[in-house]
Chain A
């Protein structure tokens, strides 16, 4: 079965540089979520999109922005990178609330993650 695709898988940037992470959801999933997982930490919700509109926002720094495109893929743009931004960034996708198996819209399937290292 198709899974969530994230690219790149690994990224090394220097302080103050910018980075763009991409996420391609499972086909027919129209909700995308971004999470950040620091070393030894649990994943923290950043932002989500449903039908190309921002649906929820968590602890996302103002230096970060994201969007969802017409083909439902999403990009997370990170500017003025700081050492503390080094983390594993996950994208997840889920079914639309009005279709798919009952209540399955709350099942989030995660991509393999992008490991960002800021030096």
Chain B
């Protein structure tokens, strides 16, 4: 069965600090997809990234970077030089090939203080 664990319930940092959000997943499938979504206070779910199980390349997009390690079943998300606008709940999610439904982690509430 699929499972996603985000052990950090809440994180609070001061603006410009770097912050890493942890995500650990469980799946029996060899082909699967990992995602990060951002949910700002307004409530919508914003797609940030998708990573395929067969592509372990890390990715950087501006201040955001993602570290995918199959050996530890982790898909961590780092925000560099955090800004107040980064304050949101961040969800890690997993989808198995053929199933398509997303299984979400519990979410990490990130607060960036000025």
Contacts and interface: CB of A to CB of B under 8 A. Distances in A.
Interface of A: 31, 33, 35, 42-45, 48, 55-56, 58, 88, 90, 92, 94, 103-113, 115
Interface string B22-51: 000000000001010100000111110010
5 contacts: A42-B91, A45-B103, A56-B100, A106-B97, A108-B100
A113 B50 CA distance: 21
Q: How would you classify the secondary structure of chain A's contact residues: helix, strand, loop or mixed? A: strand
Report the interface size class on chain B. 20 to 34
B106 interface: yes
A112 B43 contact: yes
Contact of B44 (A35, A94, A108, A110): A110
Contacts of B35: 107-108
